[in-house]
Amino acid sequence: MSKFIFCEGEEKSIDKLFINKYIILNSQYTVKPIGTKNNISAFLQGYNTTVKTTNYVLIRDRDFDFEPTETQGLILVPKQKNVFTTYRASIESYFIDASLLHKYLTWLRNTPNYKKKKTINIPTREEIQSIIIEAAQKIQYYQAVRWALARLKAENKFYFEIKFVKEDGKMPEQFDLVYCQTQANKLIEDFQHKAEKLSKDKLNTYIERFVQKFSPDTFYNHEQYLVWFHGKDLQMLIQLELLKNYSHLSKLGFSMEKFMIDVCSNLNESEYFSQFEDFNELKNKLQT
């Protein structure tokens, strides 16, 4: 009987690459991407109707749909059998690590294409860590507003967007609280006639709640941004800041996407990923 582990994304997505390299191991499961998380319910309904088996596990990003739990394991999605989310917001979140990035850049610098070039310098692990923290602090209001929009969305039965920039790979023009709050209010204006509960006052209350959570120094000292902030958003800004501050990285063709692909294709970081309880739990489920 076929066994599947379903994931988000397409055939060449980082989700499939990662699961094939670091999760499946010796299990009999085959990885099958199913597109966006919005496809999950319809896909599983059709799958279970046709195949009539529950011999599958589906893993998806947590995104802004659920707040992180106290324990660092998988999060079971309510009312969906065998569907779990990652503990951190997305797969990309797990690649955000100064030591891992520094190790990768050192490896990339020493590959045959770049080894003989003497003008390429890479940042230290400490410099990379500073960039990561600065990037996280810079987008804290953007993340607070996205979480506030997500809470408002969860209370209503109709769909509305929780990001101001529709195009993938793009970030807002500004990250200050006033700008982010203004953009969030604009997003819900078109929906206010649909439900009285969808109010700017409630949105602003949620924004204040998350701003207070994301503001303290301890939030950054304990690297809680890795759990709360969306990995794609944070990666985007880390890439921009690294290339801005260390221009030699452009000579290596560096990007966060290439970094993730190489970690899943050309390197073996099993020891690094083994520290995450949700991934260990997922691997155990595939062995039973």
Sequential pLDDT tens for the chain (288 residues): 578 888 888 888 999 999 999 999 877 888 988 877 776 766 776 666 565 565 888 999 999 999 999 889 999 998 888 899 999 999 999 999 999 999 999 999 888 877 767 778 899 999 999 999 999 999 999 999 999 989 888 877 666 667 777 776 678 889 999 998 888 888 777 665 554 556 778 888 999 999 999 999 999 999 999 999 999 999 999 999 999 999 889 889 999 999 999 999 999 999 999 999 999 999 998 886
CA 91, CA 278: separation in Å to the nearest integer? 11
- Which of these, 232, 245, 91, 242, lies nearest to 165 by C-alpha position? 232
pTM: 0.89
Query: Locate tokens 């490896």: which residue?
Result: 107
How many domains does one find in the chain? Answer: 2
CB-side neighbour CA atoms (13 Å) of 114: 18
What pLDDT was estimated at residue 283? 92
Determine the structural domain holding residue 216 and report its residue range.
140-228
Phi, psi dihedral angles at 138 (to 5 degrees):
-65, -35
Residue 108 lies in a domain: no
- Residue 60 bridge partners (DSSP): 85
Residue 233 lies in a domain: no
Which run of H or of E encompasses 15?
helix 14-22
Residue 193 lies in a domain: yes
Q: For residue 35, what is the DSSP state?
A: B
Residue 120 lies in a domain: no
Residue 110 lies in a domain: no
Q: How many residues does the chain have?
A: 288
Give the type of residue at 165: V
Strands laid side by side in the 29-33 sheet: 29-33, 3-7, 56-60, 83-85, 75-76
Same domain, 160 and 78: no
Give the type of residue at 128: I
- What's the chain's Rg over C-alpha atoms? 20
Which of 208, 228, 248 delimits the end of a domain? 228
Contact 23, 77 (CB under 8 A): no
Which of 213, 228, 243 delimits the end of a domain? 228
Residue 265 lies in a domain: no
Distances (CA, A) of 233 to 49, 103, 153, 196, 253: 37, 22, 20, 31, 20
CB-side neighbour CA atoms (13 Å) of 249: 24
pLDDT tens string 62-91: 999 999 998 899 999 988 888 999 999 999
Residue 46 lies in a domain: yes
Which of 196, 212, 228 delimits the end of a domain? 228
H helices within 156-255, ranges in order? 177-189, 200-214, 217-221, 225-228, 231-245
Q: For residue 73, what is the DSSP state?
A: S
Distance of CA 108 to the CA centre of its chain: 24
Phi, psi dihedral angles at 57 (to 5 degrees):
-135, 135
Residue 15 lies in a domain: yes
- Which of these, 90, 64, 60, lies nearest to 76 by C-alpha position? 60
